[in-house]
Structure 1
Amino acid sequence: METFDETDRRILSVLQREADIALEELGARVGLSRNACWRRVRALETRGVITGRVALLDPAKLGFGLMVFIQVHAARHDAEWLEKFGRAVREMPEILGVYRMTGDLDYLIRARVADVADYDKLYQRLIRKVELNDVSASFVMEELKDALALPL
């Protein structure tokens, strides 16, 4: 883990909530000149702390109103299967996150789809690409919190 001073933490705290903020405004908020702020941001990017900047979109307004968590039990536990599974999930844009888990579950997939019928299409495409032992899905009824900002 890298160490950061308080100024770096303030910069990161602002940027993870407002990535499009002007350097002048960012500098004013963290107590630096525009140029000093720019140097700090560039250094954080160079170190790989800031990995990208994105616009957050409203999934429902774009036709992806249903979030689904897909629980997967692997058919096999070997490098060939894992490579095939990894390639398959990376090729499917509806799949937003894939996590290898401890315990009884092998993988947890987070996906956004239009509705249950759209989920079924995603499921059918996934099982055509890779052999799975067991798959179950849980549909999100209400999102109480879905934050991206880290607690700095």
Structure 2
Amino acid sequence: MLDDRDQKLLLLLQRDASLPVSALAEKVALSVSACSRRIQRLEEEGYIERRIAVLNRGRMGVPTTLFALIKTAHHADGWIEQFKKVIADIPEIVEAHRLTGTYDYILKLVLPSVEHYDVIYKQIVRRIELFDVSASISMERMKEGLELPAGYAR
């Protein structure tokens, strides 16, 4: 069970995992060693999967976001596994979700330009059969982040 300090530590680490343990300890009113032990416990218990650096998309040359909505006529396990392998090999696809409703999958792509979508589209359809693909270009990122709410943690 997580207490308020654990939840605050998780929020702080999500915002900036590079904060020194001494700064985190001060913010949650713990000694440095107690704070360090809590962080280690949170990692061991699987609350913290990894610590990453979030890169600037403009500086990385991929400022364009595009969402591809996919329909397929195939729903067998073998097709799904092949689809997972196809999209895993394409670094521009940063998220993929299986959906309920009209479309079967949605892919989030980060691209250097809208025109580059055709390159990715061809990479996919050369390797796997799709029924329908519809793409939408994001005009503005209104909210983006990796930060999860900590209040639901068990």
TM-score by length of 1: 0.95
Q: Is structure 2 residue 73 aligned with structure 1 residue 68?
A: no
**Paired residue for 1:92, among 90, 93, 113?**
90
Q: CA deviation at 1:117?
A: 1.9
Which whole-Å deviations, capped at 9, do the CAs of 1:85-134 have from their partners, x for residues lacking one?
A: 00111111110000011111100100101112211100000111111110
Q: Percent identity?
A: 37
Q: CA deviation at 1:151?
A: 2.4
Number of equivalenced pairs: 150
Which whole-Å deviations, capped at 9, do the CAs of 1:26-81 have from their partners, x for residues lacking one?
A: 00000111111111101111111101111111112211011000100123010110
**Paired residue for 2:24, among 9, 20, 26?**
26
Matched to 1:5, the amino acid is D
CA RMSD of aligned residues (A): 0.9
* Superposed counterparts of 1:109-148, under 5 Å: 109-148=107-146
Equivalent-residue separation in structure 2 for 1:18 and 1:48 (angstroms): 18
Q: Runs ≥4 in structure 1, deviation > 4 angstroms? A: none
Equivalent-residue separation in structure 2 for 1:46 and 1:91 (angstroms): 30
* Superposed counterparts of 1:2-17, under 5 Å: 3-17=1-15
Equivalent-residue separation in structure 1 for 2:146 and 2:60 (angstroms): 20
Matched to 1:87, the amino acid is K
Matched to 1:72, the amino acid is I
- Unaligned segments of structure 2, at least 5 residues: none
- Unaligned segments of structure 1, at least 5 residues: none
Equivalent-residue separation in structure 1 for 2:141 and 2:114 (angstroms): 17
